[in-house]
A and B are shown apart, each in its own frame.
Chain A
Amino acid sequence: MNPNESLVADTKNTWCPGCGNFAIQHAVKFVIEEFEKEGVPRENFVFVTGIGCHAKIADYFNLNSFYSLHGRTIPVASGIKMANPDLKVICFAGDGDLYAEGLEHLIHAAKRNIDITVICHNNRVYGLTTGQYTPTSPYGYRGKSTPGGIHEYPLNIIEMLLGSGATFVARGYSRKIPLLKRIIREAILHPGFAHIDVLQICASFFNMTPQYDEFVYETSEANVSQFDVACRTGQQWNYSDPGPIPLGIFYKTIKPSFPENKEKKVINREEIIRTILSRYS
């Protein structure tokens, strides 16, 4: 993993041709290379992935990684960050993974403003298990587990994150690479919990390219620190009905983040234990 070596590993890539994952991988590679040029060594990054198509990204980068469990990127990443606040910890998660099984962790990570970055590969379908609906699939979506179409409205994840106290909320799109690169970079630089919902097409089970291409637009970031403006931007699209889809950073604010980078004290464990025991005699 020396700086001359490619960031992308020589492992065999098994994503379907045309998958949006390639674009995300490309954007991430670019951002890390930029950080490296600015003096952040690549070994300071740790990628934590869930389970699903997105998660293979762990194998595809020559970087530290923890290929974790379905829905469980955030607690693993939080532990790593708490153990060593100097590391830059990035979660890659899928929408089924993060917004279904992993939802409790997402809300609590936003609430505690833990200094990690979450990139959700939101293709609005379970790809690796062949096309079932996820929490952000549109109303009426027909998948193998819901042949009659789902009778649930999707979760507006942007509203939910804002309601949970996230201090950085953004949406990207796998076919708008320059914007995605900028958002990822800012999210990593953000001191606190940063979430990027990346609209990603699934070439095999839910190719939304025509709809996304028609409706996405870059929102103004002029009032990015105003919560009510962020809420209104987030409500413009409900993940179901066709209509304008804002992209960009919706909200960015600074609040006390976690963990605090405390100075390490030199402690004589044995002596401390003796002191503690003497209190109980």
Chain B
Amino acid sequence: MNEYSILIGGKAGDGISQAGQIIGSIFSSLGYHVYQYVDYPSLIRGGHNFCIIRAAKEPIFTHRTKVNAIIAFDQQTVDTHLDKLANHGIILFDKDKVKTEGVGISITQIINELQGIPIMGNTAMIAVLFRYLGVPWEHVESVLSRKIPKKIEKNLQIAQAAWKTVTPGLNISPISGETKPFLSGNEWIAIGLLAGGIDAYIAYPMTPSSGVLHFLASVAEETGITVYHPESEIAVILMALGFSYTGKKSAVGTSGGGFCLMTEGLSLAGQAELPIVIIVSQRTGPSTGLPTYTAQSDLMFIRHAGQGEFPRWIAAPANPDEALRLGAEAVQISSQFQIPAFILTDKTFSEGIYTGSSSLPRTEPTTKPGPTFPYNRYADHPDGISPVLSPPYPGESIKVNSYTHDVRGITTEDPQVTRFMVEKRKRKQQVLCEYVDRPENIFIDGDKNATTGIICWGSVRGPVTEAIQTMSVRIISPLILEPFPKKSFLKAMEGVEKIILIEESAMGQLDKILREHGIVPDQQILRYDGRPSAVEELEEQIRRYV
């Protein structure tokens, strides 16, 4: 077998997601590429949580419908997911709580005998799984000892006891290759921001973006960055702009609802020409919508948010490497062009967990023209980008302004000055357009000569890439959505006669941008139930049109 899919399910509070992560880490330590999908309702205890961990020899960024093993902590897991079990698949379950066929272990009894606590059932089940897969105890033990936060000895004792109750059913082989870091999409983006040189991350908790806040808060001390959670998203973006004013590179993160509150601050960034990185992780909307489920329905909102006209940059990563690269690039672009730079992601990518490479993106040193004196914050420059100076600077007053202003930053209503400032920002937009219109900002895959093209963006690209493996289609997926890299995109589309657009929205979001550029999809595959598509589901849908 080339790949393994494991579904693990139980109640919220059972530690399902953490157990999934340890399973993923063990696979990763065996050299596999791993992806973990996390599905949970918006509640803290009870309900049904599950995750799917997939391990493969090739890089993977999505789940499949069928799984080779189900680990059931409760009856609902079996009842809900039994139809997902592949031929020859196996159910591993807690015999004391679940009735079904397969490998039943008396988890509760083992824990009682060894005087453990219920949560240790997770470690026991993980041991059972890898025993069944034929992985040596020493290997499992070494990962467990690194990953279990508390009471390692007791956990290992219980895990070993459970281990002994099972006989191997398979014999999976380790793959040569390094152990890859295994982190959530949010964490990959956060590392990208760090690599890009952020000084501050300000955010208010909001699913599914909170992972960035939690991760950066946990490393704030050692990385020397400021991480702060103030009273609201309104405060978040304005505080971050305060950092920008002093020359510090700042980023904020939220989801659509929180971004609604940030829009006035966004316009301020546009008018005052202050750099800011904004991470927006989409979930099902409108309004509160489905807080813990996915969507790609905020692109038009992000693209048009804020009153007035000003340049912005929007990137949508589809995998860990792109998250690293675009996260770092967002920091540099926002700072170099003094504009808002967005990382637009979604629940699937934010909370999905992926193995990625540990090679850091190259950060290009930006050469900016130095200020001239007496200093004018909005001094003219051919590319529309004014040289930045930060306070305190002896002898100079540094003024930024939300009003239309002159080169010094003083409020004006003069029509000529107004036109001049608008044109300065337009020139900047033009330079930005040219900067993003590069081939590496368009991802092309599949059969590169095919006349059928699939267009998609963000996390959807993962399953699409796998779904089309036996078809003659070309994937064209832009990494930058604003300004749209038009020339490079059209180049990638050369020879395409039939276009299929795949998006997780009801009305089509990228669709609107494509139409602006005269590209009209022939078919649309849209999904809007909050769930990401598995490979097989997409494969079936795409086949209808190919």
A155 at the interface (CB under 8 A from B): no
Partner of B182, one of A62, A69, A87, A280: A280
Partner of A51, one of B191, B265, B360, B402: B402
Given contacts A41-B394, A62-B397, contact A273 B231 (CB under 8 A): no
A58 at the interface (CB under 8 A from B): yes
Tell me whether A83 and B392 are in contact (CB under 8 A). Answer: no
A77 at the interface (CB under 8 A from B): yes
Given contacts A58-B399, A273-B360, A281-B179, contact A83 B238 (CB under 8 A): no
Given contacts A46-B391, A269-B194, contact A11 B410 (CB under 8 A): yes
Tell me whether A75 and B395 are in contact (CB under 8 A). Answer: no
User: For A272, what are the chain B residues with a Cβ–Cβ distance below 8 Å?
Assistant: 194, 219, 222-223
Tell me whether A67 and B399 are in contact (CB under 8 A). Answer: yes
Given contacts A69-B268, A72-B234, contact A43 B394 (CB under 8 A): yes
Tell me whether B397 and A83 are in contact (CB under 8 A). Answer: no
User: For A77, what are the chain B residues with a Cβ–Cβ distance below 8 Å?
Assistant: 242
Q: For residue B397, which residue of chain A has the nearest CB?
A: A1
A65 at the interface (CB under 8 A from B): yes
Tell me whether A83 and B410 are in contact (CB under 8 A). Answer: no
Tell me whether B396 and A43 are in contact (CB under 8 A). Answer: yes
Tell me whether B182 and A76 are in contact (CB under 8 A). Answer: no
| Interface members, chain A 74-99 (any B CB < 8 Å) | 74-84, 86-87
Tell me whether B411 and A82 are in contact (CB under 8 A). Answer: no
Q: For residue A5, which residue of chain B has the nearest CB?
A: B395
Q: For residue A108, which residue of chain B has the nearest CB?
A: B231
Tell me whether B358 and A274 are in contact (CB under 8 A). Answer: yes
Tell me whether A83 and B231 are in contact (CB under 8 A). Answer: no
Q: For residue A14, which residue of chain B has the nearest CB?
A: B411
| Interface members, chain B 383-413 (any A CB < 8 Å) | 391-403, 405, 409-411
User: For A275, what are the chain B residues with a Cβ–Cβ distance below 8 Å?
Assistant: 222
Contact with A along B73-108 (1 / 0, CB 8 A): 000000000000000000000000000000000000
Contact with B along A24-68 (1 / 0, CB 8 A): 000000000000000001011010100100001011011111111
**CB of A48, distance to nearest CB on chain B (Å):** 8
User: For B187, what are the chain A residues with a Cβ–Cβ distance below 8 Å?
Assistant: 280
A67, A78, A273, A278: most-surrounded residue (chain B CB, <10 A): A67
Tell me whether A269 and B181 are in contact (CB under 8 A). Answer: no
A104 at the interface (CB under 8 A from B): yes
User: For B48, what are the chain A residues with a Cβ–Cβ distance below 8 Å?
Assistant: none
Tell me whether A64 and B410 are in contact (CB under 8 A). Answer: no
Tell me whether A59 and B410 are in contact (CB under 8 A). Answer: yes
User: For A82, what are the chain B residues with a Cβ–Cβ distance below 8 Å?
Assistant: 200, 226, 228, 239, 242-243
User: For B195, what are the chain A residues with a Cβ–Cβ distance below 8 Å?
Assistant: 269-270, 273
B32 at the interface (CB under 8 A from A): no
- In whole angstroms, how far apart are the Cα atoms of A108 and B236 in the complex? 13
Interface size classification for chain A: 35 or more
User: For B348, what are the chain A residues with a Cβ–Cβ distance below 8 Å?
Assistant: none
Partner of B238, one of A41, A75, A281: A75
User: For B403, what are the chain A residues with a Cβ–Cβ distance below 8 Å?
Assistant: 67
Given contacts A66-B242, A67-B399, contact A281 B180 (CB under 8 A): yes
User: For A80, what are the chain B residues with a Cβ–Cβ distance below 8 Å?
Assistant: 242-243, 245-246
User: For B358, what are the chain A residues with a Cβ–Cβ distance below 8 Å?
Assistant: 274, 277-278, 281
Contact with A along B180-202 (1 / 0, CB 8 A): 11110001000100110101101
**CB of A61, distance to nearest CB on chain B (Å):** 8
**CB of B236, distance to nearest CB on chain A (Å):** 8
B493 at the interface (CB under 8 A from A): no
Contact with B along A237-276 (1 / 0, CB 8 A): 0000000000000000000000000001101011011111
**CB of A7, distance to nearest CB on chain B (Å):** 10
Q: For residue B218, which residue of chain A has the nearest CB?
A: A276
B372 at the interface (CB under 8 A from A): no
Tell me whether A276 and B191 are in contact (CB under 8 A). Answer: yes
A185 at the interface (CB under 8 A from B): no
User: For A67, what are the chain B residues with a Cβ–Cβ distance below 8 Å?
Assistant: 399-403, 405, 409, 411
Q: For residue B391, which residue of chain A has the nearest CB?
A: A64
Tell me whether A281 and B181 are in contact (CB under 8 A). Answer: yes
Tell me whether A43 and B391 are in contact (CB under 8 A). Answer: yes
User: For B238, what are the chain A residues with a Cβ–Cβ distance below 8 Å?
Assistant: 68-69, 72, 75-76, 79
- In whole angstroms, how far apart are the Cα atoms of A77 and B391 in the complex? 13
- In whole angstroms, how far apart are the Cα atoms of A276 and B239 in the complex? 27
A175 at the interface (CB under 8 A from B): no
**CB of B214, distance to nearest CB on chain A (Å):** 14
A51, A61, A80: most-surrounded residue (chain B CB, <10 A): A80
Tell me whether A277 and B191 are in contact (CB under 8 A). Answer: yes
Partner of B396, one of A1, A48, A104, A267: A1
- In whole angstroms, how far apart are the Cα atoms of A86 and B246 in the complex? 11
- In whole angstroms, how far apart are the Cα atoms of A44 and B224 in the complex? 24
Tell me whether A104 and B232 are in contact (CB under 8 A). Answer: yes
User: For A129, what are the chain B residues with a Cβ–Cβ distance below 8 Å?
Assistant: none
- In whole angstroms, how far apart are the Cα atoms of A77 and B245 in the complex? 10
Q: For residue B399, which residue of chain A has the nearest CB?
A: A65
- In whole angstroms, how far apart are the Cα atoms of A55 and B305 in the complex? 26
- In whole angstroms, how far apart are the Cα atoms of A277 and B224 in the complex? 17
User: For A276, what are the chain B residues with a Cβ–Cβ distance below 8 Å?
Assistant: 191, 219, 222-223
- In whole angstroms, how far apart are the Cα atoms of A58 and B28 in the complex? 57
- In whole angstroms, how far apart are the Cα atoms of A87 and B243 in the complex? 12
User: For A84, what are the chain B residues with a Cβ–Cβ distance below 8 Å?
Assistant: 246, 248, 391-392
Tell me whether B392 and A86 are in contact (CB under 8 A). Answer: yes
- In whole angstroms, how far apart are the Cα atoms of A80 and B230 in the complex? 14
B159 at the interface (CB under 8 A from A): no
Partner of B183, one of A2, A56, A280: A280
- In whole angstroms, how far apart are the Cα atoms of A83 and B274 in the complex? 15
Tell me whether B223 and A267 are in contact (CB under 8 A). Answer: yes
Tell me whether B230 and A108 are in contact (CB under 8 A). Answer: yes
**CB of A265, distance to nearest CB on chain B (Å):** 6
Q: For residue B146, which residue of chain A has the nearest CB?
A: A279
Partner of B402, one of A62, A69, A108: A69
- In whole angstroms, how far apart are the Cα atoms of A9 and B399 in the complex? 12
Partner of A66, one of B226, B245, B393, B410: B245
Tell me whether A68 and B402 are in contact (CB under 8 A). Answer: yes
User: For B194, what are the chain A residues with a Cβ–Cβ distance below 8 Å?
Assistant: 269, 272-273
A105 at the interface (CB under 8 A from B): yes
B422 at the interface (CB under 8 A from A): no
- In whole angstroms, how far apart are the Cα atoms of A64 and B400 in the complex? 8
**CB of A232, distance to nearest CB on chain B (Å):** 29
- In whole angstroms, how far apart are the Cα atoms of A269 and B196 in the complex? 10
Tell me whether B243 and A65 are in contact (CB under 8 A). Answer: no
User: For B468, what are the chain A residues with a Cβ–Cβ distance below 8 Å?
Assistant: none
Tell me whether A267 and B245 are in contact (CB under 8 A). Answer: no
User: For B178, what are the chain A residues with a Cβ–Cβ distance below 8 Å?
Assistant: 281
Tell me whether A58 and B397 are in contact (CB under 8 A). Answer: no
- In whole angstroms, how far apart are the Cα atoms of A2 and B395 in the complex? 5
User: For A270, what are the chain B residues with a Cβ–Cβ distance below 8 Å?
Assistant: 195, 360
A-B pairs, top 6 by smallest CB distance, nearest first, are A79-B242, A79-B239, A75-B238, A43-B392, A67-B401, A75-B235
Beyond A41-B392, A83-B250, A269-B223, 10 additional pairs, beta carbon < 8 A: A1-B395, A2-B395, A48-B242, A64-B391, A77-B242, A79-B200, A80-B243, A86-B392, A267-B223, A267-B224
CB<8 Å pairs between A and B, sample of 14: A43-B393, A64-B398, A67-B400, A67-B411, A75-B236, A75-B239, A76-B239, A77-B242, A78-B242, A80-B246, A269-B197, A273-B191, A275-B222, A281-B182
